[in-house]
Amino acid sequence: MADIPKTCKAAVLVEYGKPLEIQEVSIPEVEPRGILVKVLLAGICGTDVHQQRGELTIKSPLPNIQGHETIGRIVELGEGRTIDAAGEPLQVGDRIMWAHADCGECYWCQIERDPVLCAKRSGYGWAPPSALRGGFAEYEMVNPKTNVVKVPDELTEEEAVGVGCAFRSVVGGFDRFGKVGLMEDFLIQGCGPIGLYSTVVARESGARTIIVVGAPANRLELAKKWGADHIINIEEHPDADERRKMILDLTYGRGPENVVEASGVPSVVAEGLETIMKGGKYLILGQTSAAATPIVVSRINEKGLTIIGSVSAHIVHFYRALQFIKTHRDKYPFGEIVSGKYQLEDVNEALANMASGKEIKPVIDSRDR
């Protein structure tokens, strides 16, 4: 392992609201079952913008290396780590993605068997620089309790990178959402990565009509390529009552059976409750804000609604998301989610362009480093 350096560059969040600083940080020793990877692509997520500004309900300790949706190439495998979560052999040189580390010992891991809810979850993009556990760096350390999956050889890194956060969360959400009846209608609220992946999963779930509401236009155009039948641009139709009427006109006046909240805007939940069909199911996927919002609660029982919340995912959802892309990559241009590529030194520009909505999914491209 002589070619592994002792230090590498990382973009470090030193103070909330301030630009990330490029620092030289130490590369720790690989523990048994740990994995050291060279970062290939690191996606930037809306959560990263909120995290950098200190706006999340749970704040990461400072200083911190952000980046929680990463594809890495294995440079060193710790003793005892020989296979991935699907049983495939792991070798130096393989491309992998990984979930948060869950403890495997708490009530939620052991009794509920729902590791997404693990009491001692330890995420990536949240740790101090000494742990080297964020994608905004040249190398990253995958810890011994973290489950990993190999990226199928067929996939480009651009096709796969969205699995690291948005797509695995959508697969996890649809898992909790349960069975979707054949030829049911979907309303997808929001057309960022969560909304786009929800669109393509709904399409392949046997939906009849899929309506995507959001902005800006470039995201809605990609929603069409990923299976949306109708798009409603909120910049052209800012009035919620008008949007509701348009959606009812597209769904026989009844509204859609299924609504997916993928916007992250608290007030859209009220719009969803008004628009959804009686007896419908509502999946809340996009919210991260601590802000409260008024809703007419009686709509829920009057209409006999089922509301399901979901956040994040487990390694099974990474695996299924990667298999979904592998199986459908001739049908949908998954790589088009990557709207811009930036060097590590330009991470602050990438965050700003994510915040403004200029980018759909900017990535830090460290493949040539």
Is residue 106 at the binding interface for Zn ion, with CB under 5 A as the rule? yes
Q: Which stretch binds Zn ion (CB under 5 A): 142-150, 164-172, 293-301, 308-316?
A: 164-172
Interatomic CA distance for residues 273 and 212, integer angstroms: 16
Structure tokens at 266: 């608290």
Is residue 118 at the binding interface for Zn ion, with CB under 5 A as the rule? yes
Is residue 109 at the binding interface for Zn ion, with CB under 5 A as the rule? yes
Is residue 228 at the binding interface for Zn ion, with CB under 5 A as the rule? no
Q: Cβ closer to Zn ion: 56 or 307?
A: 56
Q: Per DSSP, which regions of the chain are E strands?
A: 7-13, 21-26, 35-43, 64-65, 70-77, 95-98, 139-142, 148-150, 186-189, 210-214, 230-233, 258-261, 281-284, 306-309, 338-342, 361-365
Is residue 47 at the binding interface for Zn ion, with CB under 5 A as the rule? yes
SS3 for 359? coil
Residues 161, 261, 165, CA angle at the centre, nearest 5°? 20
Q: Which stretch binds Zn ion (CB under 5 A): 150-158, 162-170, 242-250, 313-321?
A: 162-170
Is residue 165 at the binding interface for Zn ion, with CB under 5 A as the rule? yes
Q: Cβ closer to Zn ion: 102 or 185?
A: 102
Interatomic CA distance for residues 8 and 282, integer angstroms: 45
Q: Cβ closer to Zn ion: 45 or 231?
A: 45
Q: Which residue is nearest to Zn ion (CB)?
A: 45
Q: Roughly what angle, to the nearest 10 degrees, separates helices 268-275 and 240-249? A: 30
> In what order do the strands lie in the sheet containing 21-26?
21-26, 7-13, 64-65
Nearest CA to 294 out of 271, 317, 324, 310 is that of: 271
Is residue 194 at the binding interface for Zn ion, with CB under 5 A as the rule? no
- Cβ 254 to Zn ion shortest distance, Å: 34
Residues 30, 158, 135, CA angle at the centre, nearest 5°? 30
By CB under 5 A, the count of residues binding Zn ion is: 8
- Cβ 244 to Zn ion shortest distance, Å: 30
* Residue length of the chain: 369
Residue showing tokens 């919340």: 309
Q: Cβ closer to Zn ion: 196 or 276?
A: 196
**Binding-site string for Zn ion from residue 313 to residue 342, where x marks contact by CB under 5 A and - marks none:** ------------------------------
Q: Which stretch binds Zn ion (CB under 5 A): 55-63, 76-84, 102-110, 308-316?
A: 102-110
Q: Which stretch binds Zn ion (CB under 5 A): 17-25, 116-124, 142-150, 247-255?
A: 116-124
Interatomic CA distance for residues 115 and 341, integer angstroms: 33
Is residue 103 at the binding interface for Zn ion, with CB under 5 A as the rule? yes
Is residue 45 at the binding interface for Zn ion, with CB under 5 A as the rule? yes
Is residue 41 at the binding interface for Zn ion, with CB under 5 A as the rule? no
Provide the binding-site residues for Zn ion, judged by CB under 5 A. 45, 47, 102-103, 106, 109, 118, 165
